[in-house]
Amino acid sequence: MNLTVDQAAANWFKEEVGLRPNAGICFKTKIYASSPINPGFGIAVEPLEPENPIASYQADNGLVFFIEENDEWFFKGYDLKVTLSEDNQEPYYQFFKDGQAIN
């Protein structure tokens, strides 16, 4: 599993999410949401300190993004790329499996 966050999205998170010292951005599972890989679950975001990350990415602005081990069941077998949507200037989450985008 690979996690990547483009610079525009990393800057958005740094500006928009209140972060405590040593905290990063945790991508986690959200029930009653939707995603292309599981229609009953989506992605939630929470500022946390990493404990047992299974994937992480450090952006050029120093912010660390990660997925914790307890959410592996949702992300397993997929790569996640986070970009900033040009339409609404909010994060856009795109999943990949074997290099192919899942939409």
Q: What is the DSSP letter of 71?
A: G
Q: Residue 89's domain spans which residues?
A: 3-101
Report the C-alpha gap between 25 and 19 in whole angstroms. Answer: 8
| Model pLDDT for residues 1-54, shown as the tens digit of each residue | 999 999 999 999 999 998 888 899 999 999 988 899 988 999 999 999 999 999
Please count the structural domains in the chain. Answer: 1
- CATH number of residue 12's parent domain: 2.60.300.12
Strands (E) located in the chain: 3-5, 24-31, 41-48, 53-58, 64-68, 79-84, 91-97, 100-102
| Model pLDDT for residues 64-75, shown as the tens digit of each residue | 999 999 999 999
Helix (H) or strand (E) holding 9: helix 7-16
